[in-house]
């Protein structure tokens, strides 16, 4: 299987993760013009599963190091499989809340608040269980990112008040999503081998862990998303017949969103062998910065903002960049 051989390559893969995790939400925005997020989400989950299978039979099955994808599935312990599946279940619950937050508050708010909280808590949790990197630099970086989160929330509050439109529901959904999202990565990490080159028996390689994670997302979606359709955060209840009426194009947009997200997940897990789980996860969750850039400059979610709000947004970007830079140096 393909394994990064240097820390610098692992950082590059984490940057790919950051770009993918920060950009997949655009597919929901594109589909959302005529397609409720609950309907979009079925296709998104299909995309996650399809890419996990494709990656397993390609990068997960080449090279002399590690175990091939099918061989790894055959030898995996049930407990490790269940941990990875549980990671998928927890992620799916958090991500459905995040998508709901995007639909009510926009990308420029849902990502910095939700994913920012997930980053801060997730780095701490993953470092406690698998310490790797300079802890002082790591946690100073996290502190900068927390400052960026608070700044973004203040900017959103000021801008929303000026428009007389404050989405408390969007903020609550974002915070709930962030707390749950901070937990999923640890379950996937606990199922994995510690040595990618010579993997221990019973544990999962990165490619197999991502596959069983995707299975967890798929299974839980049958319950979670069905509930969201029947008890939506906004709008009328939906049925599966509404999903069946979608065009081929709108279904493909949803599948593309899932593929983009899982490219990010896969690169993060693959990079963790050299970077460590805390840094790999933390750098990937710099996606918040990418999503905020999309929300501010492409989707114009802060259109007409006052000078004070614009300064706050600029400071938010600076704080995020400083935090991400410190995470990179912590690993080096």
- Res 260 pLDDT > 70: yes
Q: Is 106 helix (H, G, I), strand (E, B) or coil?
A: coil
Mean pLDDT, range 263-290, rounded to an integer: 89
Q: For the chain, what are the domain ranges?
A: 7-331
Name the residue with higher pLDDT: 152 or 94.
94
pLDDT tens across 261-274, in order?
999 999 999 999 99
Residue bearing the bigger pLDDT, 136 or 157 = 136
More confident residue, 289 or 27: 27
Q: ∠ CA(233), CA(239), CA(240), 5° rounding?
A: 125
Q: Specify burial of residue 142 (Cβ count, 10 A radius: 0-12, 13-18, 19+).
A: buried
> Under a CB-based contact definition with an 8 Å cutoff, are residues 97 and 117 in contact?
no
* pLDDT given for residue 118 in this prediction: 87
pLDDT score for 107: 64
Using an 8 Å Cβ cutoff, are 280 and 330 in contact?
no
Q: Per residue in 76-135, pLDDT tens?
A: 999 999 999 999 999 999 988 987 887 777 766 777 778 778 888 988 899 999 898 899
d(CA 143, CA 139): 6
Closest by CA position to 46, among listed 325, 243, 198, 327: 243
pTM, to two decimals: 0.87
pLDDT band at 162 (very low <50, low <70, confident <90, very high): low
* 5 C-beta neighbours (distance < 10 Å), count: 12
In this predicted structure, what is the pLDDT of residue 108?
64
């Amino acid at each position: 299987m393909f394994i990064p051989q240097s820390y610098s390559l692992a950082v590059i893969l984490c940057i790919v993760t950051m770009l993918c995790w920060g950009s997949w939400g655009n597919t929901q925005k594109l589909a959302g013009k005529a397609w409720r997020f609950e309907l979009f989400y079925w296709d998104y989950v299909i995309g996650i599963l399809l890419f996990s299978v494709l990656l397993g039979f390609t990068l997960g099955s080449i090279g002399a190091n590690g175990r091939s994808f099918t061989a790894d599935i055959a030898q995996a312990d049930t407990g490790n499989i269940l941990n990875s599946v549980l990671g998928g279940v927890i992620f799916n619950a958090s991500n459905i809340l995040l998508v709901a937050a995007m639909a009510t508050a926009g990308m420029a708010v849902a990502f910095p608040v939700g994913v920012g909280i997930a980053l801060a808590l997730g780095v701490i949790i993953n470092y406690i269980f698998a310490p790797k990197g300079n802890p002082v630099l790591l946690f100073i970086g996290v502190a900068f990112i927390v400052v960026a989160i608070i700044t973004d929330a203040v900017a959103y509050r000021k801008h929303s008040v000026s428009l007389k439109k404050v989405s408390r529901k969007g903020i609550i959904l974002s915070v709930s999503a962030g707390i749950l999202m901070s937990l999923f990565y640890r379950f996937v990490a606990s199922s994995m081998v510690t040595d990618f080159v010579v993997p221990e028996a019973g544990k999962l390689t990165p490619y197999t862990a991502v596959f069983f994670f995707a299975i967890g997302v798929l299974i839980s979606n049958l319950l979670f998303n069905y509930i969201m359709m029947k008890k939506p955060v906004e709008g009328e209840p939906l049925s599966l017949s509404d999903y069946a009426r979608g065009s081929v194009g709108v279904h493909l947009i949803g599948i593309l969103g899932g593929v983009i997200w899982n490219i990010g997940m896969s690169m993060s897990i693959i990079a963790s062998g050299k970077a460590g789980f805390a840094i790999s996860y933390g750098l990937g969750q710099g996606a918040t910065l990418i999503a905020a850039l999309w929300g501010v400059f492409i989707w114009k979610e802060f259109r007409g903002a006052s000078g004070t709000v614009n300064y706050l947004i600029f400071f938010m970007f600076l704080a995020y960049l400083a935090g991400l830079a410190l995470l990179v140096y912590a690993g080096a």
